[in-house]
Chain A
Amino acid sequence: MEDPDTKKPRSTPRNVDDVISLVIPYVTDARDRASASLVNPTWLRADSETREHVTMALCYASSPDRLSHRFPNLRSIKLKGKPRAAMFNLIPENWGGFVTPWVNEIALSMGRIRSVHFRRMIVSDLDLDVLARARLDELEVLKLDKCLGFSTDGLLTVVKHCRKIKTLLMDDSSFLEKDGKWLHELALHNTSLEVLNFYMTELTKLSPRDLATIAKNCHRTLVSAKVGDFDMLKLARFFNAAVNLEEFRGGALNEDPEKPDKYTKLTFPPKLSRLGLTYLGANEMPIIFPFAAQIRKLDLLYALLETNDHCKLIRKCPNLEVLETRNVIGDKGLEALAQYCKKLKRLRIERGEEDEGGLVTQRGLTALAQGCKELEYMAVYVTDVTNECLRTIGAHLKNLRDFRLVLLDQEERIIVADLPLDNGVRSLLMGCEKLRRFALYLRPGGLTDVGLGYIGRYSPNVRWMLLGYVGETDEGLVEFSRGGCCPKLQKLEMRGCCFSERAIAAAVMELPSLRYLWVQGYRASMTGEDLRVMSRPYWNIELIQARRVPEVDERGEVGEVEHPAHILAYYSLAGQRTDCPPTVRVLREL
């Protein structure tokens, strides 16, 4: 059956509208596509028919049938469910984000889908079964990213039916492990695997031999493997077979004081340039020295290195572009980075335990800003910071697109002398013009209402913000959201703030691009009525009710932790949620 549209490209285009159908397939940026689709119905249709990928930052923003109706030829989707706070244990596990309706729609009417990425969603074995049987060999990519609710049975179904799968990822997902059959099945039949990821999954029933077989069968294609904590010696055969491997994370280096040379004979694939070895200690560090010069990405989040170890290692990695580690790296480590890693683009420093020592302060950050000018992403937990340091960052790091700073609240209070940070923050924002993501998590007194006003005024391109313990009164929010402020802010997260419900709702109404709001810790009204200020069509307002959650502390005692209420509000074309658990309350016409 000939589609009359296919005849068009051959003839001379009569007008711009004809041209667009030829041009638009080459337009891949989502924002460009969105703009193009607004021009007129012909352009809208051209975009709709040729759009290959869609990311939905919140799965409840629309409905599955709307998606498939508008983009009938979609090849790839990425959906996100739970609020980001779920990664920090703040959201009830059954909050929502069920993939079922989406998987059913894929099976029903999205016949071109070959790549599916679910992030922070709830997935069942049945969902995986439906998906696998619907797409069969055409499914090339499946990413179950920080998901929960399924079991290894579901994985087995996927592997059995989708024989040509290239990417299989279940990173940091929480699921029931019944057996290791799914890996065995992959080993038996797959010859096209490029990316295998079961990092951070606590799987114990997998066979390293299956992994080695997969490496052998897929040696041409396998470039990335992120695995659980197999002892590294058990992975020796795997490494020998995976000749094209470029990225590896996981394994476990289990030191044996009686065998200090336990791992020295380990050889790594020749192209390995992205690496993270779990429990890497000072003793084992030398095993990566032979190829340290080619390392571009290093994950030390789950290593057991001290400050000096970091310095020793960093010195050997002049081509390092991405580093993730804990704050044990210390100021000394940051100074080493500034000196040796001029190509550094992304740096993430997470909060370790207090007993690790190593502190990150303005000393290290200033050196870093002056030495690593290529930085685009910087996320740091600091013990101390100054206005001058922030000013320096603004002056030097002109390529910064994503900046996140958390001021730690340590037990033995290291007095942070230079609060409030109003001026430093202003200088940073004014200097880093390309900033699109910004997070500032301080403490009471860390930023005044004036400072909050600066954030509003000097963030012309910022699309996402996380603000913790900023401002002093509702006036701060008024300044933050005044006309012209935060013009592109789409997603706002706030925690531990002193603002009233009314002020929050009023600010929401002022922010022109805001489509998603999350708040935990605010001055609530008696009835939640003040949220009525932000009542408007297509704007869903939900409350995650205050809860007491049983938690086991370090001594193994069961206590209860109080979780205050959250506000979650977002634009949706799908109406209000109908699948909430008891802890989520949908606010109707207030």
Chain B
Amino acid sequence: MSKATTELDFFGLDKNQTNNAPKPMFKKTLDRRRSFREMQGAISKMDPEIIKSLLASGANRSDSSTRSFSVPSTPKEDHPHRPSSPLHAPLSRLELVSGTVPMTIFYNGTVSVFQVSPNKAEDILKVAMETTPKNDKSMEKDLSVIPPTTLGSKLFGKNLEGDLPIARRKSLQRFLEKRKER
């Protein structure tokens, strides 16, 4: 096992999760026996391009490719060429039109969701990798799951009442927007 490199818990995962982890894990060092199976299942749900770029930019220089985990070069037979697996596939109208996908970043007590193109995502990840100090355990803590309730109060302020506008049905919203154009 190679030396621990920086673990960037981008997806806000508790590293103490068991094999029944619901979330995809991305660790650059891993115990192959225990987590390979869950890794395969989890990784196949992520965009292979992003994983590849992350590996390429972040892998320890002395680390040979056999040690760090390998992205399957051919898609598994139960996954189509077009990544239609759960985490990546569901493309909204916006995404289909603009070619972007959502990227969620947990940082310093805030959550942000951005629509980015895969290239942009790569760039962002690269920058994050470069600026992250190595072997910084406290960093890991910051990036791990922040109880959503604290987020809730931070984002929302103290008074919830009257802050939630009445939501409109999607289909009706689309029609009303079209109506304005007529």
**Contacts from A to B (Cβ < 8 Å):** 85, 87-90, 92-94, 96, 98, 100, 122, 124-126, 148-150, 172, 174, 176, 200, 202, 279, 301-302, 304, 326, 350-353, 406, 408-409, 441, 443-444, 468-469, 495-496, 498, 501, 520-528, 543, 545-550, 560, 562, 564-565, 575-586
In angstroms, Cα B82 to Cα A310, docked, is: 48
Checking B22, B150, B164 against A586 with a beta-carbon cut-off of 8 angstroms, the contacting residue is B22
User: Residues of B contacting A575 with CB < 8 Å?
Assistant: 20
**Shortest Cβ-Cβ A-B pairs, 7 listed:** A524-B149, A124-B84, A88-B167, A545-B148, A546-B151, A149-B90, A496-B164
In angstroms, Cα B93 to Cα A87, docked, is: 14
- Asked whether A94 and B149 contact (CB < 8 A) given A174-B92, A301-B172, A523-B160, the answer is no
Is A524 a contact partner of B145 (Cβ separation < 8 A)? no
Instruction: Name the residue on A nearest B162 (C-beta).
Output: A444
In angstroms, Cα B93 to Cα A302, docked, is: 20
User: Residues of A contacting B22 with CB < 8 Å?
Assistant: 576-580, 584, 586
- Asked whether A89 and B173 contact (CB < 8 A) given A94-B86, A174-B92, A550-B115, the answer is yes
In angstroms, Cα B176 to Cα A100, docked, is: 34
User: Residues of A contacting B86 with CB < 8 Å?
Assistant: 94, 96, 98, 100, 122, 579, 581
Chain A nearest CB, measured from B36 CB (Å):
16
Is B161 a contact partner of A469 (Cβ separation < 8 A)? yes
Q: Which of B121-162 contact A (CB under 8 A)?
A: 145, 147-153, 155-156, 160-162
Checking B23, B79, B104, B156 against A580 with a beta-carbon cut-off of 8 angstroms, the contacting residue is B23
Among B79, B82, B147, B155: residue with most chain A CB under 10 A: B147
Checking A125, A350, A498, A578 against B82 with a beta-carbon cut-off of 8 angstroms, the contacting residue is A125
**Can you list 5 A-B contacts with CB-CB less than 8 angstroms, sorted by A residue number?**
A150-B84, A304-B179, A496-B161, A526-B147, A560-B112
User: Residues of A contacting B172 with CB < 8 Å?
Assistant: 301, 326, 350-351
In angstroms, Cα B91 to Cα A125, docked, is: 13
In angstroms, Cα B182 to Cα A543, docked, is: 41
Chain A nearest CB, measured from B109 CB (Å):
11
Instruction: Name the residue on A nearest B84 (C-beta).
Output: A124
Chain A nearest CB, measured from B152 CB (Å):
5
Is A351 a contact partner of B91 (Cβ separation < 8 A)? no
Is A350 a contact partner of B90 (Cβ separation < 8 A)? no
Is B170 a contact partner of A88 (Cβ separation < 8 A)? yes
Is B161 a contact partner of A498 (Cβ separation < 8 A)? yes
- Asked whether A304 and B169 contact (CB < 8 A) given A122-B90, A527-B149, A585-B145, the answer is no
Is A149 a contact partner of B113 (Cβ separation < 8 A)? no
Checking A89, A565, A576 against B167 with a beta-carbon cut-off of 8 angstroms, the contacting residue is A89
User: Residues of A contacting B66 with CB < 8 Å?
Assistant: none
Q: Would you call B171 an interface residue if the criterion is a C-beta within 8 Å of the partner chain's C-beta atoms? A: yes
Chain A nearest CB, measured from B117 CB (Å):
14
Is A521 a contact partner of B111 (Cβ separation < 8 A)? no
Is B84 a contact partner of A527 (Cβ separation < 8 A)? no
In angstroms, Cα B182 to Cα A32, docked, is: 51
Q: Would you call B168 an interface residue if the criterion is a C-beta within 8 Å of the partner chain's C-beta atoms? A: yes
Instruction: Name the residue on B nearest A147 (C-beta).
Output: B90
User: Residues of B contacting A87 with CB < 8 Å?
Assistant: 169-171
What 1/0 mask marks residues of chain B from 90 to 101 whose CB sits below 8 Å from any chain A CB? 111100100000
User: Residues of B contacting A583 with CB < 8 Å?
Assistant: 104, 113
Among B12, B82, B89, B165: residue with most chain A CB under 10 A: B89
Checking A93, A301, A565, A579 against B149 with a beta-carbon cut-off of 8 angstroms, the contacting residue is A565
